[in-house]
Amino acid sequence: MTATTMTAPPPAPVARPGFWRHYGSLWAAAPKAFAAIIALGAIASATVGLLWGLFAAGVGLAVLVIGVFLVVAALYVARWIGFVDLAIIEWSGRPRIPRPAFRQREGFFPWLGSVFGNPHYWLHLVYCLLPQVILAAVTFGVAVAAVGTAVGGILWVPWMWAATPGPGAGFVGWGDWGLGGPWGIGAPWGIGGGILRTVVGLAVAFCLPWILRGLTWAHWGLARLMLGAFRAEALEQELVGAQASRAAAVAAEDTAIRRIERDIHDGPQQRLIRLQMDLASADRRMAESPEEARGLIASATEQAREALDELRALSRGFAPPILLDRGLIAALESAATRSAVPVEITGAVPAGLLPPEIERNAYFIASEALTNAVKHARASRIGIAVAADAIGRAVTITVSDDGAGGAVVVPDHGLAGLQDRVHGLGGTLAIDSPAGGPTVLTARLPW
């Protein structure tokens, strides 16, 4: 029993927003940027004296053991300040900066060597002692001056209106503004000076989101240069990830092969052995007892039929013909019709969008999760949702059931094999299965 809901293909990419919508988004991010600049300036001014004191005292007392500990303390404080600065810069809306590795060895002297020998500690220290202080002072001053100019210029005329001395209220007291020239620019409260201040304030206010954004980008650039991981470290992490994916793919393939061997041994192979024995026995008894021989032949025919059915079921675990002919959704619908539990398939995948290997693995993951839910979850309803993201180039398969829950990954079992397969494809697998249910398995496969 199946209930299928087809959704429309993913929409075409949306055009970039207009100028005013983009400008509005800049203003929405401006308070965070201003707060980040103030926070970075406060941290720099509050910690630079401490760091200079620790480092200078450590160098001065380098011949003593206490000097070494003071330098190490300066390095650790600088590392902490660098991490706080990175968090603030990213909170303001700038892209994430890869974190460097601060590996430490066991034992006092190996640990000390790992601290002094790690260039990231020294880069963090140099960053906090000079470049960050200068940049924080400049950006703090520019941000405060820009905000003050914008607010002061916009509020100048209303403030002067309220503060005008002399008889009368409002512009009745223009003569007391000290016009001092045709436009009054030379007078402290001249009308011309007020107009000029207002125009400048409005102009700075209009440009304020870009000013604050540019200041946070300056902090991001310096942090990326001095606080981020080296390119070689990023390549090393990619290599480690690739090796882990390869190991997971090998493990998944080994698990799949062993499962196929077990299924063939326990199913078709046993039936074919029984078929061979029945035919041999029927051949011996054909002359003596034709009736008994016909019974053995009928049993052999039944064994052949059941072996063929089991071979067909095994072949569906590889790539059923309907998957190649009609695509992923049709193949999952076909698998749902054979399920003992009602299954609802939702989603749509445009023809030709998924590469064949991704489509085949997506089917295998969904069908294996469906089989596990039917066997172990004691569910009354199962849902399979497929979402293909053409822009992000990934397909997400979500299998949910209302069963007993408590599903965990156990080595050499079904979920572990699925996890290895997903990781081998460079994807992610998330399992949410609290005790009592429901269970939601989500696999994301990039291509």
Cα distance between residue 110 and residue 128, in whole Å: 26
The per-residue pLDDT of the chain, averaged, comes to 76
Segments of 295-393 assigned E as strands: 343-348, 382-389
Q: Are residues 199 and 274 in the same domain?
A: no
The CA angle 82-86-89, to the nearest 5 degrees, is 135
pTM: 0.53
- Domain containing residue 425: CATH number: 3.30.565.10
Q: For residue 424, is it within any domain?
A: yes
Question: How long, in residues, is the chain?
Answer: 447
Taking residues 197-215, report their average pLDDT: 87
Taking residues 262-284, report their average pLDDT: 70
Short-list 349, 439, 356, CA closest to 395: 349
The per-residue pLDDT for 51 is 86
Least-confidence region, from 39-48, 152-161, 228-237: 228-237
The per-residue pLDDT for 173 is 41
Statement: residue 181 has pLDDT above 70: no
The per-residue pLDDT for 155 is 82
Short-list 344, 414, 410, CA closest to 372: 414
Statement: residue 169 has pLDDT above 60: no
Which contacts (CB < 8 Å, 24+ apart) does range 90-94 have?
91/32, 91/36, 92/29, 92/32, 92/33, 92/35, 92/36, 92/216, 93/29, 93/32, 93/33, 93/216, 94/216, 94/217, 94/219, 94/220
pLDDT band at 248 (very low <50, low <70, confident <90, very high): low
**Of 125-134, 232-241, 418-427, which has the strongest mean pLDDT?**
125-134
Q: Are residues 181 and 272 in the same domain?
A: no
Taking residues 165-177, report their average pLDDT: 44
Q: Are residues 308 and 412 in the same domain?
A: no
Q: For residue 258, is it within any domain?
A: no
Cα distance between residue 149 and residue 338, in whole Å: 72
Q: Are residues 304 and 195 in the same domain?
A: no
Q: For residue 1, is it within any domain?
A: no
Q: Are residues 303 and 215 in the same domain?
A: no
Q: For residue 359, is it within any domain?
A: yes
Buried b (16+ CB within 10 A) or exposed e, 101-140: eeeeeeeeeeeeebbeebebbebbbebbbeebbebbeebb
Partner residues linked to 346 by β-bridges: 5, 385
Statement: residue 216 has pLDDT above 90: yes
The per-residue pLDDT for 12 is 44
Range of the domain at 302: 267-316
Both tokens of 431, joined, read 């399992």
**What three-state secondary structure class fits 345?**
strand
Q: Are residues 66 and 99 in the same domain?
A: yes
Number of separate domains in the chain? 3
Statement: residue 99 has pLDDT above 60: yes
Least-confidence region, from 165-179, 258-272, 304-318, 378-392: 165-179
Q: Are residues 296 and 331 in the same domain?
A: no
For 186-196, the pLDDT digits (tens) are 444 456 666 77
Cα distance between residue 186 and residue 179, in whole Å: 8
Q: For residue 40, is it within any domain?
A: yes
Q: For residue 171, is it within any domain?
A: yes
**What three-state secondary structure class fits 2?**
strand
Contact 366, 384 (CB under 8 A): yes
Partner residues linked to 389 by β-bridges: 394
Least-confidence region, from 101-110, 140-149, 311-320, 378-387: 311-320
Q: What is the dihedral of CA 384, 389, 394, 399, to 10 degrees?
A: -10
Q: Are residues 26 and 143 in the same domain?
A: yes
Cα distance between residue 198 and residue 175, in whole Å: 20
Partner residues linked to 399 by β-bridges: 384, 441
pLDDT band at 135 (very low <50, low <70, confident <90, very high): very high
Question: What is the helix (H) or strand (E) element at residue 163, kind and residue range?
Answer: helix 131-163
The per-residue pLDDT for 318 is 57
Taking residues 209-226, report their average pLDDT: 91
Q: Are residues 209 and 327 in the same domain?
A: no
Secondary-structure breakdown of the chain: helix, strand, coil percentages, each rounded to the nearest 5: 65, 10, 25
Domain boundary among 229, 256, 290: 229
Q: What is the C-alpha R_g of the chain?
A: 36
Q: Are residues 329 and 310 in the same domain?
A: no
